[in-house]
Amino acid sequence: MELRARTCEILRDLIAFPTLSSDSNQVLIAYAAGLLEDCGARVDLSSSPCGAKANLFATLGPEVDGGILLSGHSDVVPVTDQDWSSDPFVMEERDGRLYGRGTCDMKGFIAACLAMAPTYAAQVSTRPMHFAFTYDEEIGCFGAQHLATDLRARGLTPGVAIIGEPTEMRVIEGHKGCYEYSTHFHGLEGHGSAPDLGVNAVEYAVRYVAELLQLKQRLRDMAPAGGRFEPPWTTVNVGALQGGVAHNVIASKAQVDWEMRPVTARDADFVKTALRQLCEEDLLPAMRQIHPDAGITLETIGEVAGLEPMAENEARQIMLELTGANGADLVAFGTEAGIFQALGMNVVVCGPGSIAQAHKADEYLALDQLEQCLTVLQRLGRHL
């Protein structure tokens, strides 16, 4: 079967698996494992802590360091309250586009990898080709973090990782991290007429937010010279402040939901250190002077590492050669790439489709984008 037709056939099957982050992805993973095993790959599956999901890691060629890794996430975002023109889990071709949930984000890339696997099996020799398909990228990159732990335990480090998120086949060498938190304040309820007898959790939450806003400004001043991100500094956003029950009641509970998008890991450490010092040296002593059981807890929703541009990057070099691009770019959205970079790999993000179509009703992957992806993957095989 012609390569594009085979890729579309596989993609149609992948779209039919409704691998929402809230549900299991195991049927898709089993399907992909079967295709890879059929062409001689060694396939390892690892279950999530809940047991309902799994990562796939497969290898063609020798089990040595320095291989090339093609990676994509298997989960998709919900379609609830979206106005689709067709069934989101039945792929439909219209006007040169493939419609369906996950077509561009990012089952199109996974389908292309699976369609190319038999060709790679015949081409691979001394340098292995790896495939990694993960769970729960959309809600915190938990599957990739799990996979990173497994690779460390095995002592295996591929040399190059290509993350196939939709970039319109542009080579992406950097993006900011995304760290999300909820900070909980536990005080002491009381009557509003006697504020000194209670610990107002909302007031301490406001002081915490004030510190976040000061850090927000300081981070602007710390932007690296010549930074290429837009904006070039680490950003902080306070998404929500909740607490209290009535005008005349001292609030015993409050919650601050916030995030930061660090340019570097150092910026993230700077923010977390400053907030920890504020709580330990200022807020908590004042709260516990009145109520010894008062507390502040930081809940980590997710910490997704950024992809930091590197002066030397074999992945960038390979993909620039294969795509014919003159240079690599940066993007605003996050991916699993930083997790693989932290393992010591050279990493780029490059895949078919546009992020502008991701997560929306009538998500689609243009067929010419899929063709470009297959062309690059074929060239990658010859590079092997």
Query: Active-site residue numbers?
Result: 75, 137
Q: Which long-range contacts (CB under 8 A, 24 or more apart) does 191-195 make?
A: 191/248, 191/249, 191/250, 192/247, 192/248, 192/249, 192/250, 193/248, 195/250
Element (H or E) spanning 28, and its range? helix 26-38
Cross-strand partners of 131: 58, 70
What secondary structure does DSSP assign to 36-92, as a single string? HHHTT-EEEEEE-TTSS-EEEEEEES-S-TT-EEEEEE--B---TT---SS-TTS-E
Bridge-based pairing state of the strands 172-175 and 92-94 = unpaired
Half-sphere exposure of 358 toward its Cβ, with a 13 Å CA cutoff? 20
Cβ atoms of residues 237 and 259 within 8 Å: yes
